[in-house]
């Protein structure tokens, strides 16, 4: 205790000296970074990918809750039980959409509303998926050493700026990413080296962020995570599952998730289902035929869509290590008008009907 009889300035100076001495005796010169929260402690993820919403919002669409009340799109998602928002990030897109400035500004809005952020790094200037992994234009002339450094620096920068709770290194990287340098079959060692460089950058920039690796479909998924990414530092296995591309056998989905869950915690990173086979613009929809559905259990109706997502949630919940799911294209209404040929190919799989009213499927986000 510092004596009260000492002059105030002397007491203040002595207190400062004592605090410095105590801090040096109790702590190393540089405090260690906090340990990441273990993946098994992560609250169940009920996520929606709404990456196109900043663009759609510019057309000022009006949305309605399920009971018909007009409400803001994000408020409807929040009230519906969505707790995490997944956003794609392109390196240098042809427009401002899905670029760093737009994503960063949108992420601030989402954080202010209490959403967790799931960042999906495409490492491309445009869409990345199993059949398309185009290297960003500004990296194409680099040799491999400089490419790896660029991937590390880019990943560090976006991670520091956004500090997402979840960060996905690559999108549907079945064939690798950053082709041709990171092509899985042509350059498997370089593929793993690029993944590791990105993972190391995340750990350095935001140790609490959970790293996801993302594979599309069920076939070959166990082999991919057992063999192709062996030695890479990551936390969570992420799968895409769409019946149109990955089969209609939900029992197989459950079996694959159980197998993967023995290795790492697992999430469904992308899934969706139609509430109708109709359309609301002149853009060809990706799902539009009965043979693309899981019939008779899940017809293309509001009830069928709800039942499908409810079953996905139940399967993940029943999987040891199952962390959650993400609904892709939740926002992708026909925002360009009923005659647009370059509008939405997904409006019949959104979480809102053709009148922009929330569908019953939103209830699956908060059901246990």
Q: How far apart are CA 95 and CA 102, in angstroms?
A: 10
Contact present, 291 and 353 (Cβ < 8 Å)? no
Phi-psi region of 176 (alpha: psi -120 to 50; beta: other; left: phi over 0): left
Name the catalytic one among 270, 291, 331, 347: 270
104 flagged as catalytic: no
Of the candidates 7, 23, 55, 100, the one whose C-alpha atom is nearest the C-alpha of residue 333 is 55
**All residues at 6 or more sequence positions from 29 whose CB lies less than 8 Å from its CB, including other chains:** none
Q: Can you give the length of the chain in residues? A: 368
Name the catalytic one among 66, 102, 165, 172: 172
Q: How far apart are CA 5 and CA 11, in angstroms?
A: 9
270 flagged as catalytic: yes
Which residues in 293-311 are b (16+ Cβ under 10 Å) and which e?
bbeeebbbebebbbbbbbb
List active site positions.
172, 270
């Amino acid at each position: 205790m510092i004596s009260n009889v000492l002059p105030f300035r002397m007491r203040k100076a002595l207190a400062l000296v004592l605090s410095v001495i105590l801090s040096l005796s109790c702590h190393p010169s540089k405090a260690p970074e906090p340990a990441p929260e273990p993946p098994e402690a992560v609250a169940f993820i009920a996520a929606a990918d709404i990456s196109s919403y900043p663009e759609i919002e510019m057309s000022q669409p009006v949305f309605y809750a399920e009971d018909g009340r007009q409400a803001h799109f994000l408020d409807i998602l929040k009230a519906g039980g969505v707790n995490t928002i997944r956003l794609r990030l392109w390196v240098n897109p042809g427009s401002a959409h899905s670029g760093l400035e737009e994503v960063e500004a949108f992420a601030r809005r989402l954080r202010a509303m209490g959403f967790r952020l799931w960042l999906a790094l495409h490492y491309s200037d445009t869409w990345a998926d199993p059949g398309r992994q185009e290297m960003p234009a500004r990296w194409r002339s680099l040799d491999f050493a400089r490419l790896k450094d660029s991937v590390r620096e880019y990943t560090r920068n976006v991670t520091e700026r956004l500090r997402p709770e979840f960060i996905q290194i690559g999108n549907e990287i079945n064939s690798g990413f950053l082709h041709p340098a990171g092509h899985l079959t042509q350059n498997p060692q370089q593929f793993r080296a690029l993944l590791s460089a990105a993972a190391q950058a995340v750990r350095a920039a935001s140790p609490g962020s959970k790293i996801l690796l993302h594979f599309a479909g069920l076939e070959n998924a166990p082999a991919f995570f057992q063999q192709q990414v062996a030695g890479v530092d990551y936390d969570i296995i992420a799968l895409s599952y769409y019946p149109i591309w990955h089969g209609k056998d939900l029992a197989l989905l459950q079996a694959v998730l159980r197998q993967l869950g023995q290795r790492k915690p697992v999430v469904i990173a992308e899934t969706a289902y139609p509430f109708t086979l109709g359309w609301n613009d002149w853009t060809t929809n990706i799902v539009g035929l009965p043979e693309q559905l899981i019939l008779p259990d899940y017809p293309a109706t509001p009830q069928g869509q709800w039942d499908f997502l409810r079953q996905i949630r139940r399967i993940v919940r029943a999987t040891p290590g199952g962390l959650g799911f993400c609904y892709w294209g939740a926002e992708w209404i026909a925002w360009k008008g009923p005659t647009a040929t370059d509008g939405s190919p997904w409006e019949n799989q959104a979480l809102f009907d053709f009148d922009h009213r929330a569908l019953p499927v939103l209830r699956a986000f908060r059901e246990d």
